[in-house]
Structure 1
């Protein structure tokens, strides 16, 4: 049987529901969760799968249960850069709440094979009309994502490659269940906007600080506290806003 089918069956048969696996859904009250439940569809993604393409019509939002949804912006010449990451703490497709029915960015599954709960735009509109608390919770997360994006911009302008790399590793580490993380040189290039040789040099410096160990296509977090010190103020503000607006 197909590996993805097996994973869908495993999650469907699990006593833990999608509401429990996605923190944002879990923050809704019981009535709101019950209203959404019949409209949520479980969908699998492989690491590297395209979840959405910029310019395509947007007919749904997704609440990740596992894996990382990397949000990428594009320039001419097929140059793409990572601008945000979303895991089981949130959702993707926030532009629908802002009146935009097209995907403004590419969204790609990263780090591991992932699962998500998909909700159609029509069902979203209908349920939010009956349960306005859902819109409030989702918009609070939109504010957090905007804060994360703003810190990405500022960090790219003001901080060293090593400091920015430490931040991106922490963002991945927050959203996966293991210290051993699939992170390739190509992903770092998208996140840092530098050449592969600069990625290699920065990885070596983080290894020298004993914060990580780098092996082919993977980064192993050895000391998260060292990573936090290396990242400095590039990391933590958006995370604190999430706790303030949505709780731990």
Structure 2
């Protein structure tokens, strides 16, 4: 039986789901839902950013382009976050290329409106600041990870984080794509993927990787996966969870971070 895709809602994104009723009501009239297709480029390096995106089930990577044509991932965004805001406070120019890696939907608002919302609604600003700190922690941890950990451990971390964002064991990832994201040769990724499959951690298909042993994959990953995950849980509770959790807000009040994993 074919799987019926549910109608996307703005609060499928966990940042939007974390907003209190009044703050969400402030943003909702300015949000629209858009389809994002795998391989679609949303912004090129240096291009002016005009929209902020809140992914639902899509996954978008920010990659930097080198003079020799090579590209390496700098950050990945999914339902746990947003993009097109944190890097556009001053110049409003894209740090790199934003490319869709996993098809899906996202909510979108004009960048100018997001700046106005942050100025008018302190809770929105506070939540964006929380995400910004979590994103910075992830980026710096990834820099350290890329410098000292093996390709196998880094590959495990990347697959785990992709599954967290996708919410499903099947990931449409090619070896070419993984090589680009990890900054290594395709042959290296091919060898690593074969080892992980032989260990029973993943199963490879045509343009698809299926996680078959989640616990084993976490054990094979470096500590960076847990460090990043714990930082998100600290700043944005339930980024990976299923329950309702109280999130301290600005001014000593509390707001509820509501999100159920699909």
> What is the alpha-carbon distance in structure 2 between the residues aligned to residue 97 and residue 71 of structure 1?
14
> What is the alpha-carbon distance in structure 1 between the residues aligned to residue 228 and residue 148 of structure 2?
17
> What is the alpha-carbon distance in structure 2 between the residues aligned to residue 47 and residue 96 of structure 1?
23
Report the counterpart of residue 29 of structure 1 in structure 2.
20
Query: Is the contact between residue 72 and residue 83 of structure 1 (CA under 8 Å) also seen in structure 2?
Result: yes
Report the counterpart of residue 150 of structure 1 in structure 2.
140
Give CA deviations for 1:159-192 in whole Å, capped at 9, x if unaligned.
Answer: 1111111011101111113211111111111122
Aligned-residue offset at 1:233? 0.5
Report the counterpart of residue 4 of structure 1 in structure 2.
none
**Aligned with residue 41 of structure 1, among 29, 32, 41:** 32
Question: How many pairs were matched up?
Answer: 235
> What is the alpha-carbon distance in structure 1 between the residues aligned to residue 109 and residue 158 of structure 2?
28
Could you list the runs of 4 or more consecutive aligned residues of structure 1 that deviate by over 6 angstroms after TM superposition? none
1:130-209 alignment runs, 5 A limit: 130-209=120-199
Give CA deviations for 1:179-211 in whole Å, capped at 9, x if unaligned.
Answer: 111111111111221111111100011112111
Specify the SS of the correspondent of 2:233. Answer: helix
Report the counterpart of residue 243 of structure 1 in structure 2.
233
Mind listing any 5+ residue stretches in structure 1 that lack a counterpart? Answer: 1-6
Superposition TM-score, scaled by structure 2 size: 0.85
Whether 2:10 is the aligned partner of 1:18: answer yes
> What is the alpha-carbon distance in structure 2 between the residues aligned to residue 181 and residue 195 of structure 1?
20
Q: CA RMSD, aligned part only? A: 1.7
Query: Is the contact between residue 85 and residue 171 of structure 1 (CA under 8 Å) also seen in structure 2?
Result: no
> What is the alpha-carbon distance in structure 2 between the residues aligned to residue 160 and residue 243 of structure 1?
26
Aligned-residue offset at 1:98? 3.7
Query: Is the contact between residue 173 and residue 181 of structure 1 (CA under 8 Å) also seen in structure 2?
Result: yes
> What is the alpha-carbon distance in structure 2 between the residues aligned to residue 241 and residue 65 of structure 1?
21
Query: Is the contact between residue 149 and residue 222 of structure 2 (CA under 8 Å) also seen in structure 1?
Result: no
> What is the alpha-carbon distance in structure 2 between the residues aligned to residue 123 and residue 31 of structure 1?
16
Report the counterpart of residue 224 of structure 1 in structure 2.
214
Specify the SS of the correspondent of 1:243. Answer: helix
Report the counterpart of residue 82 of structure 1 in structure 2.
73
Query: Is the contact between residue 72 and residue 107 of structure 1 (CA under 8 Å) also seen in structure 2?
Result: yes
> What is the alpha-carbon distance in structure 2 between the residues aligned to residue 192 and residue 129 of structure 1?
37
Query: Is the contact between residue 88 and residue 94 of structure 2 (CA under 8 Å) also seen in structure 1?
Result: no
Superposition TM-score, scaled by structure 1 size: 0.90
**Aligned with residue 42 of structure 2, among 51, 54, 67:** 51
